[in-house]
Amino acid sequence: MTDLLRPFMAWRWWLLSLAGVFVGILLGRQADSGDPELLAVQTILWVVLVYPFLEELVFRGGLQGWLLTWLRYAIGPITLANVLTSLAFALTHVMVWGHTAAALVFVPSLAFGWTRDAHGSVAGAVVMHALWNAAFLLGRALT
């Protein structure tokens, strides 16, 4: 099995992905639907494809990978590198979405980081991130 496909063969990846889809739909339904452009096709492509790829490449591939070379401490499956990367990831979301949304991004970020650590690749994190973002937009569309 190639390294690229390894995350998709793990039951934990599927469980986290499905949980994220469920929570994403619920949160999307609760979100303020005052911005009709959020559901425009171009925005959907960016939010579901481009942002997850770029963010996971930078945060999980770059920052978390670099931190793992220095910080090997972990509590269970969550590494300190993952926690610090997730904090940085959440803080970058404060600028765009505000404090509440940034706080809600922290836990999914830990799941993305776990996927990266467990499988040594950002591929699973990119797909999981895309699924969660798509579910959030689906929830928005259902309101």
pLDDT in tens, 31-43: 555 566 656 777 7
pLDDT band at 73 (very low <50, low <70, confident <90, very high): very high
Question: For position 72, what pLDDT does the model report?
Answer: 84
d(CA 92, CA 89): 5
- Which contacts (CB < 8 Å, 24+ apart) does range 10-18 have? 10/118, 10/119, 10/124, 12/114, 12/118, 13/115, 13/118, 13/119, 13/124, 13/128, 16/111, 16/114, 16/115, 16/128, 17/127, 17/128, 17/131, 17/132
Strands, E, within the chain: which ranges?
A: 74-75, 78-79
Nearest to 130 by CA among 46, 30, 65: 46
- Angle made by CA atoms 62, 10, 135, in degrees to the nearest 5: 70
**3-state SS assignment for residue 85:** helix
Who has greater pLDDT, 68 or 44?
Answer: 68
Average of per-residue pLDDT values in the chain = 82
Residue 11: what pLDDT? 64
Indicate whether 1 pLDDT > 70: no
